Structure 1
Amino acid sequence: MLSAELQHLDMKSLMGLLYLLEENNVGRAANRLFLSQSAMSRLLQRLRDAFDDPLFIRTSKGMIPTARATALEHPVRVMIENMAGLNSPQTFSPDKTERTFRLQTTHYQAQAYVPFIASQFYQHAMHASLETSTVTENSLLHTTDNQADVVLCSEYIQVPNTFERQLLGYEKFGCIMSASHPLAKKSSITLDDYLKYHHILVSIGGSSRIYMNDALAERVRERHFAFRTPYFLAALATVGRTNLLLSSSRLLAERFQEQFQLVIRDLPFGFPDPRYYICWPKATENDPGGQWFRQLCGQVVREHIPYPSPDGNNESPVI
């Protein structure tokens, strides 16, 4: 526990101690600190009170440091050098770091992009760790900013204004079905075709809102969800084995089209292409490690998303 006297010492007083040790003269030490000799004498008295020691003894040959003053020189010098280093630019070396980087994504983006991110991550940061967790529609509103270095999400995820957000690109939706589905023989499907069959809903969690309902307008009640799941690959596998329809992004459906025996058709109604973003806490904006990780994630997603956006300006979240 620091004494009250030590707690009131400032950097200038400690620099004064070092100058006194180097000069063994109050006047010369005062000049180096741009103080008057009387002010320097008061500074020395504060040091004596703080360390409960005379620190310097006046002799006919000048001031001689006490054993206590000599013992203080090294730790005080190291502390001042460390303090000076606080203003030095932060550096980061991915090949040397042992940091754990935290990535939050939806289930869909975890399957669509995280394996490619992990591949690049461990090529450059072989000693680091990558930890992923799930983000839902409103989970970012109820967590602290320090729980993620990067968040990958769609425009349907609510992002608080304590985060920065940058557009990565967009994907196109389609109607996904089994290759053996009766509608698979048709080159295009009508809205009546679409509503005739039961559907799968992949939920992002956090609310019961279904964004595609707006596009169906007055016919929304005709669509029936027979299977609900948060897992996109489970939905694709189920589509391949049933006559259920899935309305979702084409990206993963095309990637697993042969494995699950899928067919993809255009939706029989207009629906805006979903946009995807990379987000990060504003508090980590200048963190070199965070900057490196954001750049890696953004670059990987832009390489694999069907319609990438330029690496442009940040957007302000709407929440």
Structure 2
Amino acid sequence: MLRNTNLNLLRTLHVLLQEAHVSKAAQRLHITQSAVSRQLAQLRDIWQDELLVRNGNVLIMTPKAEMLKAKLDTLMDDFDLLLAETVFDPENWFGELVLSSSDYVAQYVMPDVCKRLSKQAPNLAVSLRLWEPEYIHRLHELNIDIASTMLPHKPDGISGIRIGADHSVLVMHQSHPLASKKHVTVNELIAYPHIKITGGADKDTFVDDILRQQDLQRRVHLRVPFFNAALSHLQVFDGLMVMPEHIAESLGDSWNIVYKPLPFNVEENQYWLIWHPKYDNDIRHKWAREQVKDAIAHCESSIQL
């Protein structure tokens, strides 16, 4: 019987049995009185019962209608509760949000992100994970909700929004022999040892590719996963680093570093927030990524559009 009854008919039946009045039911359902009368005729046919019968100037429920009303009261309450759960209130979000980024973003940008999230979703637990390039197609497997990374373009099969762009620069300590020069040559770039950041997105392999085209090679003296560790080492010897300009500018004063343009043309670095497409229409995820995006946009240490 129920497989021949759509939800609209059940809603009409419930309201009719509550009101016991066709015109009042029509007002509540925001449809015409004639439409309610047609639906009542369908319902009588489905249940093979009059459901509502006239008693003088009023309609009264048949025994079957009374039984149906008791069941519908519970059914419709449960259905309304189900619909209410799709209305998202961040204050009532009890769960975990997994964010992934470079160590620079984790240290200098994520505090602003976490502050914003904790203020509006106080029961939400946030976990930070160091981003690795091979995670790009493992977001679902690794339960990463949102990642901040540098990519030339958004890969197929991944959802995301672009949050900014800049160029890479050549970084050195303030007393480096090249620090007073306005421009550095390719020969000067390869004359000094380099420090390479291995954590997060690939930031400088393009330098090796360009040099290789000229039959040249730089010497990577040290590979470290973290920006602060790399910059600490940079203070004690005449090394060089390639890093995004917004990071060099942000860390310049605190680490006594200077930066120069690279001695060749390079493409822009593109920065993205990415996530698995399964979250595209998830109401909690949509709220979370909007908060992350806004926090990044207002953070002085972050990339800007």
TM-score normalized with structure 2 length: 0.72
Aligned to 1:317: none
Which letter does structure 2 place at the counterpart of 1:43? I
Return 207-216 or 192-201, whichever deviates more: 207-216
Report the equivalent of 2:137: 141
* Alignment correspondent of 1:120: 116
Report the CA distance between 1:246 and its aligned residue: 0.9
Contact 1:213/1:220 (8 A) holds in 2: no
> Identity rate of aligned residues, in percent?
19
Give the match's secondary structure for 1:248.
Answer: strand
Question: Residue 38 of structure 2 aligns to a residue in which SS?
Answer: coil
CA contact (8 A) 1:141 1:159 kept: no
Residue 12 of structure 1, CA deviation = 5.8
Aligned residues: 290
Report matched runs for 1:72-91 at 5 Å. 72-82=71-81, 85=83, 91=87
For 2:90 and 2:171, how far apart are their aligned partners in 1?
A: 40
Which residue identity is paired with 1:78?
D
**Cα distance between partner residues in 2 of 1:116 and 1:70:** 53
Q: Note if contact 2:158-2:277 (Cα within 8 Å) is conserved in structure 1.
A: yes
Residue ranges of structure 1 left out of the alignment (5+ in a row)? 49-55, 310-319
Question: How far has the Cα of 1:248 moved from its partner?
Answer: 1.0
Q: CA 1:11–1:116 in structure 2 vs 1: closer, same or farther (change >3 Å)? A: closer
Q: What corresponds to 1:248 in structure 2?
A: 243
Q: In structure 2, what residue type is equivalent to 1:72?
A: K
Aligned-pair CA distance for 1:190? 2.1
Q: CA RMSD in A?
A: 4.3
Per-residue deviation, 1:163: 0.8
Give the equivalent residue in structure 1 for 2:125.
Answer: 129
**3-state SS in 1 of match to 2:149:** strand
Q: Any conservation in 1 of the 2:203–2:243 contact (CA below 8 Å)?
A: no
What is the CA deviation profile of residues 91-147 of structure 1, one whole-angstrom value per residue up to 9, with x for unaligned ones?
444455444333222334333422222233334333333222233224222332993
Distance 1:193 1:187 in 2: 13
1:283/1:242 CA distance change after superposition, 3 Å: same
In structure 1, the residue corresponding to 2:178 is in which secondary structure? helix
Match of 1:274 in 2: 269
Give CA deviations for 1:189-225 in whole Å, capped at 9, x if unaligned.
3221211122111125688992222332434642121
The answer to which of 299-308 and 234-243 deviates more is 299-308
Superposition deviation, residue 8 in structure 1: 7.6
Which residue of 2 is the match for residue 65 of structure 1? 63
3-state secondary structure, aligned to 1:277: strand
Give the Cα separation in 2 of the matches to 1:207 and 1:257: 21
Describe the shift of the 1:186–1:77 C-alpha distance in structure 2 as closer, same or farther (beyond 3 A).
closer
Query: What are the equivalent positions in structure 2 for 1:37-116 lying under 5 Å apart?
Result: 37=41, 40-44=43-47, 64-65=62-63, 69=68, 71-82=70-81, 85=83, 91-95=87-91, 97-116=93-112
Contact 1:138 1:158 survives alignment (8 Å) = no
CA distance in 2: counterparts of 1:72 and 1:36, whole angstroms? 18
Question: In the aligned structure 1, how far is the partner of 2:71 from the partner of 2:181?
Answer: 86
Work out whether residues 177 and 184 of structure 1, in 8 Å CA contact, stay in contact via their aligned partners in 2: yes
Check 1:99–1:6 CA distance in 2 against 1; reply closer, same or farther (3 A cut): same
Is contact 2:101–2:200 with CA below 8 Å preserved after alignment?
no
Gaps of 5+ in 2: 26-33
Residues 115-264 of structure 1 correspond to what in structure 2 (within 5 A)?
115-144=111-140, 147-156=143-152, 159-166=155-162, 168-204=163-199, 210-219=205-214, 221-264=216-259
Q: AA paired with 1:34?
A: R
Structure-2 separation of matches of 1:36 and 1:75: 21
Shift of 1:182: 3.3
In 2, the alpha carbon distance for the partners of 1:299 and 1:274 equals 20
**Distance across 2 between alignment mates of 1:221 and 1:134:** 32
Q: Is the 8 A contact 1:163 1:279 kept in 2?
A: yes
Question: What amino acid sits opposite 1:308 in the alignment?
Answer: Q
Does the 8 Å CA contact 1:138/1:206 hold for their aligned counterparts?
Answer: no
Q: Deviations over 1:166-202 (max 9, x none)?
A: 3x22233222223343333544432212111221111
Contact 1:139 / 1:206 at 8 angstroms: preserved in 2?
Answer: no
Q: For residue 34 of structure 1, give the secondary structure of its aligned residue in structure 2.
A: helix
